[in-house]
């Protein structure tokens, strides 16, 4: 069926009008069906893409997990002079532990250090990242307060040592580096 041409200004029969409306209705339905089919195809593609992305994410997460496992194995077995070590650092502190066994159960040495930054002169309690096994560790810092041509000893030393902390005088507004080592 085709659209019947009606001359402008003339009267058309009801049948001609009905046939034209039916033709237009059929065309609209056909185009609508085409669009629905296109939309269904697009939605199918979206589902397929989402599945691909999900699979990629799962594979990526599995790969990251495998990489982390390998890194842990490597860091667990990292050996230096027959000793196994663990390294850690953050923005202001670090530590390095030495172990006699691969499982890292028997620590034989600990080194740690960092910076002390205080805005005012005061007593400063330095909290270690890792506890020492006893208070027989060595600790020092490399900056002090110049007083009468020399460094005041109370600015350079640490007092009240515990296995988890040491107390010192902080020179306000100056960044001081510290280092400690022991068992």
Residue 109: closest CA among 73, 147, 136, 146:
136
The Cα–Cα gap between 131 and 180 comes to 11
Q: Which CATH class name applies to 80-182?
A: mainly beta
The pLDDT assigned to 33 comes to 86
The Cα–Cα gap between 164 and 183 comes to 12
At residue 4 the predicted structure's pLDDT band, cuts being 50, 70 and 90, is confident
Over residues 128-145, the pLDDT tens digits come to 999 999 999 999 887 655
Contact 105, 142 (CB under 8 A): no
| Residue written as token pair 């400063």 | 124
- Is a pLDDT exceeding 90 seen at residue 12? no
Return the beta strands (E) in the chain as ranges: 79-80, 83-89, 93-99, 107-117, 122-127, 138-141, 146-147, 150-151, 158-159, 165-170, 175-182
Contact 94, 113 (CB under 8 A): yes
DSSP-assigned beta bridge partners for residue 137: none
Domain regions of the chain by residue span = 13-76, 80-182
The Cα–Cα gap between 157 and 170 comes to 10
Over residues 141-180, the pLDDT tens digits come to 876 555 555 555 446 678 889 999 999 887 666 778 899 9
pTM score, whole prediction: 0.52
Over residues 21-79, the pLDDT tens digits come to 999 998 898 888 888 988 989 999 999 998 888 888 888 888 888 888 777 766 655 56
């Amino acid at each position: 069926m085709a659209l019947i041409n009606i001359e402008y200004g003339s009267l058309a029969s009801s049948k001609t009008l009905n046939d034209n409306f039916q033709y237009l209705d059929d065309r609209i339905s056909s185009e609508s069906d085409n669009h629905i089919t296109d939309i269904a195809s697009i939605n199918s593609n979206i589902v397929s893409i989402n599945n691909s992305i999900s699979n990629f994410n799962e594979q990526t997460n599995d790969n990251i997990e495998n990489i982390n496992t390998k890194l842990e194995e490597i860091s667990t077995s990292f050996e230096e002079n027959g000793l196994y070590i663990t390294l850690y650092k953050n923005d202001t502190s670090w530590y390095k532990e030495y172990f006699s066994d691969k499982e890292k159960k028997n620590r034989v040495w600990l080194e740690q250090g960092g910076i002390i930054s205080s805005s005012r002169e005061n007593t400063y309690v330095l909290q270690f990242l890792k506890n020492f096994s006893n208070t027989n560790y060595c600790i020092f810092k490399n900056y002090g307060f110049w007083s009468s041509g020399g460094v005041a000893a109370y600015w350079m030393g640490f007092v009240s040592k515990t296995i988890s902390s040491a107390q010192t005088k902080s020179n306000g507004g100056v960044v001081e580096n510290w280092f400690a080592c022991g068992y």
